[in-house]
Amino acid sequence: MSVLATLEKHIRAQPERLALRILADGLADGLADGLADGDAPEITLTYGQLGETLAATGTYLRSLGLKAGDRLAFQLPKGLSFILLHWAALRLGAISLPLNPAYPAAELSHFLRDSGARFFFRSADMPPCPVDLPALEKVFTIAADGIEEATRFKETACFDTTTPFGPLPLPEQPAVLIYTSGTTGRPKGALLSHLNLAANAAALHDAWGWRRDDVLLHVLPLFHVHGLFVALQNAWYAGATVHLRRRFDAATTLADLNSGAYSVFMAVPTIHARLMQHLDCRHCDFRHLRLMTSGSDRLPDTVFQQFEARFGYRLLERYGMTETGMNLSNPLHGERRRGSVGLPLPGVEARIVDRQSGAILEDDQTPIGELEIRGAHVFRGYWQNPPATAAAFTADGWLRTGDLASRAADGYYTLHGRANDLIISGGLNIYPAEVERVLTAHPNVAAAAVIGCSDERWGERPLAVVVLQKPQLEEAALTAALRQHCRSQLAPYKCPEQYRFLPELPRNSMGKIQKGPLRARFASG
Ligand code: MLC
């Protein structure tokens, strides 16, 4: 059943059950009702109220003229407006385009232009909307006062909450466009269909034993697959309750998790590590939680082991990507193996292929190769980018993940790094090509190569090796100038902090930059 149909079933069947509680900022126990002075307000919605508010938002969007296939972009803080715009757009058959609030105007411009977004909702404290976008019909600016504007969709409008939405979108209809960093220098939009979302929701529902009485503590950003689908959507797919924190804070999260109110928690390794490093963690025990998962980046063995030693809970590591949602997972019951991302989820086919010969590797052969994935959850392609789509798939329809993996005889998969250049910082992907494109646009830069360096805090961080046009300035001044240049063009997490200057970059006989020697020389930090 589609994700939307399932939600509508819950709205009808359990209108009194709590669907969403957006916790007031600053409440350490996460459970108190009402407001403390100066806090952003707490918001609660039962499934019945969620249905009404979504209907109101949908009616509002329809009154603007939003129709099936239109792209609705929004760059909003984590909150109710974000959630309602996304779900109502989906319900109308439009394509939801969530954007990271950290994107500066230069990146935003690319997303709005490339997607041909028709409507754009932005927050007043976010970068100004670029001009000169022919497809963009209207920009809505929402005050950055912390008040959940989306409730205004309901309150201000005379919008009828009872008008039926009309037929549900078809499974093959596109639902959401999420931009991923580009191997070729510009982010590409991964287009996920309603079928993709439904296939993943059903697989995770079964594999992770989601229950109606689950209560999820949600601390992740909503602009990515992890926070939006794996956590929020799939909790609602089960008819469960979501408590949402507007931002992650280690002390608050520890207190929340320790309160006994939650059964499910999902995070990236950087968050798990920060929980362990916080002083308050000494008093915490998470044995009562039903499910705690880790994903979006490799879980270091030390974090896996120390988390269990500290909190009494063995994290369940899983593996996914924007283009597919979740692919592999350690089992809910059974061995959660250290260093492994587990087994294919229901409906997911996985294989390992030798990158040189293209041969499919069996368990008894040399085991490391590129992981390829097939299934109803796999996206159909990049937005209006047939070359990138063609490059992503094999001739027989398998998605090339770009991740190197091996499979043990009992079917457990282990990842061994990436076949491409991708850097993962705090669970967010960075493609060096995109950063290099920005660096080489600087007038002082003749050539640049960006590599990943291991980093205690974020897992990895980008480091830039730069060749100057003419070495005229002090390195410190140049570093400051390049940092500022990157900050003006790229989201902060993509910007290198460390710079190294060389007279030339190592290149092969074809003139291609060789990153191996640069990594050997600089990557250990
Ligand atoms: C924030 N900062 C980062 C960063 N996040 N720097 C590098 N890498 C990151 N990931 C910087 C900010 O720019 C800022 O710097 C400073 O840190 C403080 O910002 P903040 O917003 O207060 O940070 P914080 O709240 O501490 O955020 C850290 C975090 C967050 C780990 C909570 O990054 C996070 O939620 N990551 C999860 C990402 C995620 O959900 N990925 C899923 C992708 S989906 P300055 O200099 O500006 O002050 C996917 C598929 C799958 O991959 O399998 O799930």
Q: Which of 112-116, 146-150, 268-272, 354-358 has the lowest mean pLDDT?
A: 146-150
Structural tokens at position 321: 């990507």
Residue 33 is predicted with a pLDDT of: 39
Distance of CA 57 to the CA centre of its chain: 24
CA angle 371, 372, 374 (to 5 degrees): 145
pLDDT one-digit tens code per residue, 431-480: 898 899 899 899 999 889 999 999 989 999 999 999 998 777 788 889 99
Beta strands in 354-412 (DSSP E): 369-374, 381-382, 399-407
Residue to mutate, 218, 223, 244, 428, ligand 1, most ligand atoms under 8 Å from C-beta:
428
Does residue 375 come out as left (phi exceeding 0), alpha (psi in the -120 to 50 range) or beta? left
At which residue do the structure tokens 């950290």 appear? 102
Query: Alpha-carbon distance 486 to 227, whole Å?
Result: 27
- Second CATH level (architecture) for the domain 3-237: 3-Layer(aba) Sandwich (3.40)
Query: Alpha-carbon distance 246 to 144, whole Å?
Result: 13
Q: Bridge partners of 326?
A: 320
Q: Is 271 in the pocket of ligand 1 (CB under 6 A)?
A: yes
pLDDT one-digit tens code per residue, 219-244: 999 999 999 999 999 999 999 999 99
Q: Where residue 29 falls among pLDDT bands split at 50, 70, 90? A: very low
List the residue whose alpha carbon is closest to atom 14 of ligand 1: 492
Residue 508 is predicted with a pLDDT of: 77
Expressed in angstroms and rounded, the spacing between residue 319 Cα and the centre of ligand 1 is 19
Query: Alpha-carbon distance 367 to 352, whole Å?
Result: 8
Expressed in angstroms and rounded, the spacing between residue 493 Cα and the centre of ligand 1 is 7
* 289-320 b/e (C-beta count within 10 Å ≥ 16 → b): bbbbbbbbbbbbeebbeebeebbebbbbbbbb
The kind and range of the H/E element at 205 are helix 194-207
Of 398, 395, 485, 409, which is closest to residue 440 (Cα–Cα)? Answer: 485
Q: Where residue 366 falls among pLDDT bands split at 50, 70, 90? A: low
Phi then psi dihedrals of residue 431, to 5 deg: -95, 125
Query: What is the residue-averaged pLDDT of the chain?
Result: 89
- Mean pLDDT across the stretch 280-307? 94
Residue 417 is predicted with a pLDDT of: 81
Q: Where residue 525 falls among pLDDT bands split at 50, 70, 90? A: low
pLDDT one-digit tens code per residue, 73-119: 999 999 999 999 999 999 999 999 999 999 999 899 999 999 999 99
Q: Is 293 in the pocket of ligand 1 (CB under 6 A)?
A: no
Structural tokens at position 503: 């007279």
Residue 204 is predicted with a pLDDT of: 98
Q: Is 492 in the pocket of ligand 1 (CB under 6 A)?
A: yes
Q: Is the pLDDT of residue 31 over 90?
A: no
Q: Is the pLDDT of residue 150 over 50?
A: no
Q: Which residues contact 195 (CB under 8 A, 6 or more apart)?
A: 2, 171, 172, 376
Expressed in angstroms and rounded, the spacing between residue 178 Cα and the centre of ligand 1 is 17
Report the percentage of the chain scoring pLDDT > 70: 91
Residue 514 is predicted with a pLDDT of: 87
Q: Is 449 in the pocket of ligand 1 (CB under 6 A)?
A: no
Q: Where residue 424 falls among pLDDT bands split at 50, 70, 90? A: very high
Query: Alpha-carbon distance 75 to 67, whole Å?
Result: 20
Q: Is the pLDDT of residue 365 over 90?
A: no
- Mean pLDDT across the stretch 205-211? 98
DSSP state of 224: S
Report the percentage of the chain scoring pLDDT > 90: 71
Pure H helices in 269-399: 269-277, 301-311, 386-392
Residue 37 is predicted with a pLDDT of: 45
Q: Is 247 in the pocket of ligand 1 (CB under 6 A)?
A: yes
- Second CATH level (architecture) for the domain 422-522: 2-Layer Sandwich (3.30)
Expressed in angstroms and rounded, the spacing between residue 519 Cα and the centre of ligand 1 is 24
Residue 182 is predicted with a pLDDT of: 62
Query: Alpha-carbon distance 458 to 461, whole Å?
Result: 7
Query: Alpha-carbon distance 275 to 266, whole Å?
Result: 13
Q: Which atom of ligand 1 is nearest to the CA of 321?
A: 50
Q: Is 294 in the pocket of ligand 1 (CB under 6 A)?
A: no
Q: Is 321 in the pocket of ligand 1 (CB under 6 A)?
A: yes
- Mean pLDDT across the stretch 282-296? 96
Of 148 and 372, the structure prediction assigns the larger pLDDT to 372
Measure Cα distances from 397 to 179, 180, 490 in Å. 22, 21, 33
Phi then psi dihedrals of residue 418, to 5 deg: -115, 145
Of 201, 191, 263, which is closest to residue 232 (Cα–Cα)? Answer: 201
Q: Which of 59-73, 126-140, 347-361, 377-391 has the lowest mean pLDDT?
A: 126-140
How many residues are given for the chain?
Answer: 525
Of 415, 411, 402, which is closest to residue 300 (Cα–Cα)? Answer: 415
List the residue whose alpha carbon is closest to atom 33 of ligand 1: 426
Measure Cα distances from 274 to 108, 213, 261, 291 in Å. 30, 28, 21, 19
Query: Alpha-carbon distance 21 to 2, whole Å?
Result: 24
Residue to mutate, 176, 248, 345, 453, ligand 1, most ligand atoms under 8 Å from C-beta:
248
Pure H helices in 240-315: 250-258, 269-277, 301-311
Q: Is the pLDDT of residue 291 over 80?
A: yes
At which residue do the structure tokens 């590409």 appear? 188
> Could you state, in order of their start, the residue ranges of all structural domains in the chain?
3-237, 422-522
